[in-house]
Amino acid sequence: MSRNVNRYLAAIQIALLGAALPVHADSERVTGFSSEDTVTIRSAIARMDEQSDIIHFEGGFEIRANDFYLLSEQASLYGKLDDPETIMVSGSPAIIRVNSSDKGEVSTINGQAMQIVYQRNSNSIRMEGDASLSRGGNTMSGGEIEYDIKKDLLRAGGDSGVHITVEPQQ
C-alpha cells in the first residue's frame, strides 16, 4: 500500500452510514449499531493488512455508535469496514460500553481489560487481562470475562481457577 493511502486512512475520520451489526429483536438485548446509526472510527494510524478485509489501527483508536463505544491504543477490524465481523482491541486498559435493553429498560454495561474482542455473529464480548465488567452497582472482575450479550450471561475466571456464571433476575 502506498504511503499516500496510509496517510489518507490515518488522517480522516471515517463516518460509516448503515453499519450492519445486527439488532436482536427477539431478545432486545443490544441496541447498538442499528442500520440508522452513524458509526465513527478515529485513530492516529490506519493500515490495511495484506489479507483482504482486515484493517489495523494504532494510537487513540475509538469506534463509536449510538449505543456502542470502544476505546483502545490498538485495534484490528475483521470484515468489511462498514460491516465488521470482529473487533479486537488492546490497551492499558481498553474500554467498552454497550447499552442494552430488556423489556424496555435500558442499562449501560461498562468493561475494561488489556484485550477485548467483540464478535458480531455470537453477539459476545471476551475480555482478557485484569478484566472487569459492571452494570449498575454490580461489578465482576477476573483474569478473563466472557459476556454473552443476547443471553445476558457472564463467565469469569483467572489464575486462581475461579469460574463464575451470573444469570439475570427475572
- 17 compared with 125, residue with greater pLDDT: 125
Mean pLDDT (the chain, rounded): 75
pLDDT in tens, 28-81: 445 445 555 677 899 999 999 998 889 999 999 999 888 889 999 999 999 877
How far apart are alpha carbons 120 and 103 in whole angstroms?
22
- 148 compared with 58, residue with greater pLDDT: 58
Question: Residue 9: pLDDT above 50?
Answer: no
* Contact call for residues 45 and 76 (beta carbons, < 8 A): no
Cα→Cα distances 137→63, 110, 117, 156, Å = 26, 11, 24, 18
Q: What is the pLDDT of residue 64?
A: 87
Domains of the chain: total: 1
Tell me the CATH number at 153: 2.60.450.10
Cross-strand partners of 155: 146, 165
Range(s) of the domain holding residue 14: 3-166
